[in-house]
Amino acid sequence: MNRSRLFLIFCILGIFVFALVQCTQVKSKTNDSRGPAYAGSSTCVSCHKDLAASAVHNSHFNASKMLTNPGAADSLHLPDGEFIFNEQTKVQVKNRADGLYQSALLHGVDKKTEHTDMIFGAGNSAYTFAFWYGKQLMQMPLNYLTKEHQWVNSPGFPDDQIYFGRPIISRCLECHSSFADKKLVQGPNFSITEEYVKNSIIAGIDCERCHGPAAQHVTFHQENPTVKIANFMVSYKKLALSRRIDACGVCHSGTGIQTVSSTFNFKPGDTLKTLPEYSAYRGEDPDVHGKQKPLLEASMCYKIGKAECITCHDIHDNKKLGVAIYSAKCMSCHQDVKHETLKNRDKAMLAKNCIDCHMPVKESHAIGFQMSNSKEKIPYKLRTHRIAIYNDLIQGK
């Protein structure tokens, strides 16, 4: 009788442990808002500590941030400020104990104040701010330019009045985050708005946004720790050149890509050519804002298969490389270039700076930032990724 009872107890305990393990596994698999195929980037750290430690500080990982804690904006070191449209109309920026706020002041009276809930941008050039309006994300009136240390009117906003009414649509999040669960809601006059599940947003570009879902990969290597060759993970080295730069181009081709399904579904090895309204480079001069892939496709270095995104960029690295290091990459192929048209120039200097002449900084025609108390706009300048000989620069020297 005692043996039977003991056996029964062991059976019950066994069933309980099995159920507990199963529940734990289900919980870990569904922890990521993208679904059970995703492991979550924190899981990658256990095997890829060095890469993860560097990547969390780079521009991709910090392409956006959710400000869920009261002091979350403190690390950005953003100053209080004021933007003047006219004597009666001003926007005030204040760091308070519970976060960063922007307020609309009319004749000195606070007419609307919103708390910053999300920040877009890694801060290399600028920050854009958003607040929750119900289940919608809305853009705040002011941007902050980090190099100029100025609060400016957000690009495309009215230049004579305060505006809190621009929604942050999913197309923005598709390039500045790793996931956002949304639903379409029909409003009056057949209008459609996008609402988000707040806790579904995965800010920044994480490991699995670029490498694809990793749950199966993680499970395999946890069960087979001696296997050092990556299983259940796409190898970028084995992809065709066009597929490798398409993985970058899904975000770095500009906002012209319109899709029926979200580009969050784009995986390594997919091609942009299957996306509706994606237009490949056809000889035009793309704007420098967000169109790095079409600009690179215009370069002879790319056309002959000698240059791609990862030739110059290590997306796991957080170091800011100077022109000399990038120029060394150029010189690895162009050692015999004579620069005959620039024979009077210092050849040693040229060898250390190919970039400023062959990938010059240009102004975006799409974006400009209105200055306070002025109609003047600060142009948004970015380095073009069209590697070429720019005759206007030669003639101007």
pLDDT tens sequence across 324-358: 888 888 888 887 777 776 656 555 566 688 899 89
pLDDT tens sequence across 207-262: 999 999 999 999 999 999 999 999 999 999 899 999 999 999 999 987 666 666 78
Instruction: Check residue 89 and give its pLDDT.
Output: 98
Instruction: Check residue 345 and give its pLDDT.
Output: 56
Give whole-number Cα distances, 96 to 68, 73, 108, 116, 150, in Å.
14, 10, 19, 11, 19
What is the percent of the chain where pLDDT is above 90? 58
Tokens encoding 115:
């708390």
What value does the mean pLDDT of the chain take?
86
Report pTM.
0.85
Q: What angle do CA 220, 222, 225 make, to 5 degrees?
A: 95
Q: Which residue did the predictor score with more confidence, 342 or 196?
A: 196
Quick check: 25 pLDDT over 50?
A: no
Cβ atoms within 10 Å, residue 337: 13
pLDDT band at 274; cut points 50, 70, 90: confident
Residue reference for tokens 């000195």: 108
* Exposure letters 283-313 (e unless 16+ CB within 10 A, then b): eeebbbbbbbbbbbbbbebbeeeebbbeebe
DSSP conformation letters of 70-129: TTTTGGGTPPPEEEESSSSEEEEEEEETTEEEEEEEETTEEEEEEE--EEES-SSSEEEE
Quick check: 137 pLDDT over 90?
A: yes
Quick check: 79 pLDDT over 80?
A: yes
pLDDT band at 366; cut points 50, 70, 90: confident
